[in-house]
Amino acid sequence: MPHVRRLRQASRAMLLSRMVALLAACWLGGTSRAQGGNPQWSDEDVAFFEKQIRPLLVRRCLSCHGENKQESGLRLDAREHALKGGESGPAIVEGKPDESLLIEAVRYESLEMPPEQRLSESEVRVLEEWIRRGVPWPNGPHASLRRSRGHDFTPAERSYWAFQPVRAWPVPPVRNPSWCRNAIDRFVLARLESEGLAPAPPADRRTLIRRVYFDVIGLPPGPEEIKAFLLDPADEDVAYERMVDRLLASPHFGERMAQMWLDLVRFAESDGYRADAFRTSAWRYRDYVVSAFNSDKPYDRFVMEQLAGDELAPDDPDVRIATTFLRLGVYESNQRDARFHWKLIVDELTDVIGETFLGLSMGCARCHDHKFDPILRKDYYRLRACFAPLLFDDDTPVASADEIADHRQKLEQWERQTAKLQAQLAQIEDPILRSLEQFQVAQFPEDVQAIYAKPESQRNWLERQLAYLVHRQVLDRRADIPKKLKGNKKKEWEDLRKKLDASRPPPLPRMMTVRDAGGAATATQIPGTETVVEPGPLSILDSAPFSVQSPKTAPNSTGRRLALARWLTDPENPLPARVIVNRIWQLYFGKGIVQTPNEFGRMGQPPSHPRLLDYLAWHLVRGDQPWRLKQLHRMILLSSTYRQSTFHPNAPQNLQRDPENRWLWHAATRRLSAEQLRDLLWSATGRLDRRIGGLSVSGTLPRRSIYVRRMRNSPDPLLAVFDAPAGFVSVGTRDRTTTPLQTLLMWNSESIWKIAERVAQRVVAEGWQTPEEQVDRVCQLLWQRPAPKVWKDQAVAYLRSQTSGEEADLSSEKTRFQRLTDVCHIAMNANACLYLD
């Protein structure tokens, strides 16, 4: 129907022409403003434009009327271009929004603009206020709407995909819509069809339940859970959807998701390097992360609490625990170069912020402008400046205000009652403590010693930070007091300590947290230059520094970290939403839409499905439940894309076209993670401790792996050999190595043999007597499926075989148990146990 097509094109042209007239009028303010060349707007007008108008126009106008594209001749990225207009004339009356055609159009009273999606009521009110103010536009007619960035970024840098605004791309049409269960499938299938590929058939129920359980909660389904799902008479989609919802509501969901996050933030429970001291309260942060994912805490709040919990809610211990994130880096307890040590701590933290939240490697920009990405050296130090006032705090109680007040009252009473004993103790300890302090401080450079000698009120930020590092080593020396005492003096000291400790109120638990240093400001200066920078974002996104002020909730803080957190969670920031969506996608498919999740820059991989990534990111931030991650998990899990089989009838031909399965024509076979494997083995014994949260334990105990102590230099052997991160750097994608050490550990480790023995004990204790029953049960527990006939026949034959030689001296019952243990051990080493289909 060519005439219909021509009519549509004509209508489109007319609509564009009128849209140009309306939008061009936005910048045709009156003669009194336009002729000035660089009108001086009030500070209030400038603030209103920067916070409300600029983001709105960038988000809703520049994709069609910006530097790279000017529909109907209209360019709106600078006032100079906007004043020229397009193919029509003014549609705004300065100071009178009700008489302006622009407002009429965005209200959908005549033309409907923007045509693809209506502005919200709040956005319309913002435009009305802008017109009432006289259409302010700071910095003159040449000022770019995307800001002058203080650097001559190339068109390629400006147009790089990761820095473009997130768009709500329309769902593409497909030739086989019956395969699609949701929008994810349409994006994936559209790409498959364009490549001449078709998706794999759906996985069977038994395969699917094992996959979903491990992916969502990190644990295998039990035999009864498998049976119930296989026999569920409900429709396939209904039965599956009920299972997904149940798992997303499980408290074990948070444990599984937390493992991903702990990898990113280099979580460990030891200092690292040589001493590797145990961090007794680090587990509280781990439990905070588990709880946050279980409660589906909005991701923006989750980020803000970790960066600035002390500024958001200084009296809420559950929020303050989140700032332990800022303490997770390596600490070197015997480092005497305090200046270098603190620089290393803050540099490493800046790097982790870039990788975790922005998906960018920032480290290159520490010494020079990034060689491949539009990240300036200035940008690195603008982000680093957010942490300039940071001070570690080891004395924050994990208690409510009432509990703290009650404890203080009891402590004051105890001090009055024991004043005499304390004086006697001080007579013994004080001379020793002064000597130990003098010795320890003398290990530092003279300029640092001078800083430590200063009254705290006279120190600036950096001096307080360096003094903290010195004082922490001084406190460590307290443990040497007993070594300095002998004979009766030592006994007297021990008796006094015992009497005082017996009556002293139990101390409140403490947490590793942070606060702002206070005192005079320390400027952030780019090393080797005279350039001083203020806290701010990446220049490619915004050249203006952050608007920083002390929060009302924490007037003693600078508000720098809170400003950073707000920028990272600003819906207009194109990176953080894409980054977290990509990480969750990777959990379920083994690789992200961007296969380098910590590197969205040019040294990483481009997205395989860029419009799908944007679609998911846009709906995460602007959907019905903003920033809630469980809705994203559910959408992925319910998709046909996720539910595909690993087997494809046309695999040989498809491998020629897409050998890496980039277009997702089948499900990928994945090896279980270290934690999943260990939890599976302990689960098969029936002894896995599934309690949520609490103190970390040794890996020899049957608690879930997330609760095993993570010591940087002495990790659990099973977790380490199967590629669990050590906690020194942010890990976005774990290694998937296949090494002889893995085989040797699984075959020869005494701990693995003991687990095999416990699985055999469970099988016997449950009453499975015949070899056939026992082999079936072993495979149910370790593989979550029946054994193949050939494997089962061989295992049964081994259990029935006659004994000879040394075995003949053993009781037949003991021999049968040993052989059953062998079968369990072999099953533990099979691919059916180690891999996920």
Per-residue H/E/C for 565-606: HHHHCCCCCHHHHHHHHHHHHHHHHCCCCCCCCCCCCCCCCC
Q: Which of 136-145, 410-419, 670-679 has the lowest mean pLDDT?
A: 136-145
pLDDT for 19: 36
> Is residue 279 a contact partner of residue 267, using CB atoms and an 8 Å limit?
no
| Averaged pLDDT, 435-451 | 96
| Averaged pLDDT, 343-360 | 97
Please check the confidence at residue 104 and state whether its pLDDT lies above 90.
no
Alpha-carbon Rg for the chain in angstroms: 32
pLDDT for 48: 73
Query: Tokens standing for 263?
Result: 């990898």
Residues 692-730: tens digit of each pLDDT = 999 999 999 999 999 999 999 999 999 999 999 999 999
- What pLDDT band is residue 147 in, cutting at 50, 70 and 90? very low
> Is residue 337 a contact partner of residue 447, using CB atoms and an 8 Å limit?
no
Query: Tokens standing for 297?
Result: 């805490």
| Averaged pLDDT, 361-366 | 90
pLDDT for 537: 96
Mean pLDDT of the chain, nearest integer? 88
- What pLDDT band is residue 204 in, cutting at 50, 70 and 90? very high
Provide the 3-class DSSP secondary structure of residue 340: helix
Please check the confidence at residue 148 and state whether its pLDDT lies above 50.
no
Please check the confidence at residue 271 and state whether its pLDDT lies above 60.
yes
pLDDT for 59: 66
In sequence order, the 6+-apart residues with CB closer than 8 A to the CB of 229 are 205, 209, 221, 239, 243
Query: pLDDT above 90 covers what percent of the chain?
Result: 76
Please check the confidence at residue 626 and state whether its pLDDT lies above 60.
yes
> Is residue 575 a contact partner of residue 582, using CB atoms and an 8 Å limit?
no
- What pLDDT band is residue 183 in, cutting at 50, 70 and 90? very high
Query: pLDDT above 70 covers what percent of the chain?
Result: 87
- What pLDDT band is residue 21 in, cutting at 50, 70 and 90? very low
Closest CA to 291 of 689, 625, 627, 693: 693
In whole angstroms, give the CA distance from residue 350 to residue 382.
10
- What pLDDT band is residue 68 in, cutting at 50, 70 and 90? low
Burial of residue 490 (CB within 10 Å: 0-12, 13-18, 19+) is middle
- What pLDDT band is residue 86 in, cutting at 50, 70 and 90? low
In whole angstroms, give the CA distance from residue 599 to residue 360.
5
pLDDT for 5: 36
In sequence order, the 6+-apart residues with CB closer than 8 A to the CB of 2 are none
In whole angstroms, give the CA distance from residue 133 to residue 37.
18
Residues 232-269: tens digit of each pLDDT = 999 999 999 999 999 999 999 999 999 999 999 999 99
| Averaged pLDDT, 341-346 | 96
- In angstroms, the Cα distances linking 329 to 42, 164, 271, 396, 517 are 44, 32, 8, 19, 19
| Averaged pLDDT, 784-800 | 94
